[in-house]
């Protein structure tokens, strides 16, 4: 069995953002030379997510509004976690959007369903953060 590991780094200039990282994951897959196996992609921070969905800007706007209704950033004083920090909402947004995704690798390609793309979801940006890509297979 072969394995490949890579950290992708992001520094999002805003507090929140959704970034399509499918091209970076495909580049990792090419470098791994693995043609049959699995790709794991996970956020290495508890205030960011990796998830799979559609690359459609209206949907991303809807996600942002929905997450703000579930866990508003303001007022930061509403959260007990916010003693000396202000990112309790980001922890909750990460929890609902998920930590990681696993994608099958078939014939050297990410074996996606229709419209599926991999996204990095940032909920407490403006600093350097990492995503782990781990690929195993033959």
**Is 45 an interacting residue with respect to Zn ion (CB under 5 A)?**
no
Write down the least CB distance from residue 46 to Zn ion, Å. 7
Distance CA 97, CA 70 (A): 12
| Binding to Zn ion in span 79-98, by CB under 5 A | 85, 87
Antiparallel, parallel or unpaired: β 2-11 and 17-20: unpaired
Residue whose CB is less far from Zn ion, 35 or 95? 95
Q: How far is the CB of 91 from Zn ion (least distance, A)?
A: 6
The strand order across the sheet containing 2-11 reads: 2-11, 128-137, 37-43, 100-106, 109-110
Total residues contacting Zn ion (rule CB under 5 A)? 2
Could you tell me the smallest distance in angstroms from the CB atom of residue 47 to Zn ion? 6
Helix (H) or strand (E) holding 25: helix 22-32
Binding-site ranges for Zn ion (CB under 5 A): 85, 87
């Amino acid at each position: 069995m072969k394995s490949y590991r890579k950290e992708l780094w992001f520094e999002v200039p805003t507090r929140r953002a959704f970034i399509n990282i499918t091209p970076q994951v495909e580049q990792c897959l090419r470098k791994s030379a693995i043609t049959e196996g699995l790709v794991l992609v996970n956020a290495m921070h508890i205030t960011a997510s990796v998830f799979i969905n559609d690359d459609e800007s209206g949907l991303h706007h809807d996600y942002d509004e929905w997450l703000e209704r579930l866990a508003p950033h303001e007022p930061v004083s509403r959260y007990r976690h916010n003693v000396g920090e202000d990112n309790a909402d980001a922890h909750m947004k990460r929890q609902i959007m998920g930590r990681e995704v696993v994608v099958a690798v078939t014939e050297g390609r990410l074996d996606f369903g229709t419209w599926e793309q991999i996204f990095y979801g940032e909920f407490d940006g403006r600093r350097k953060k990492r995503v782990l890509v781990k690929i195993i297979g033959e």
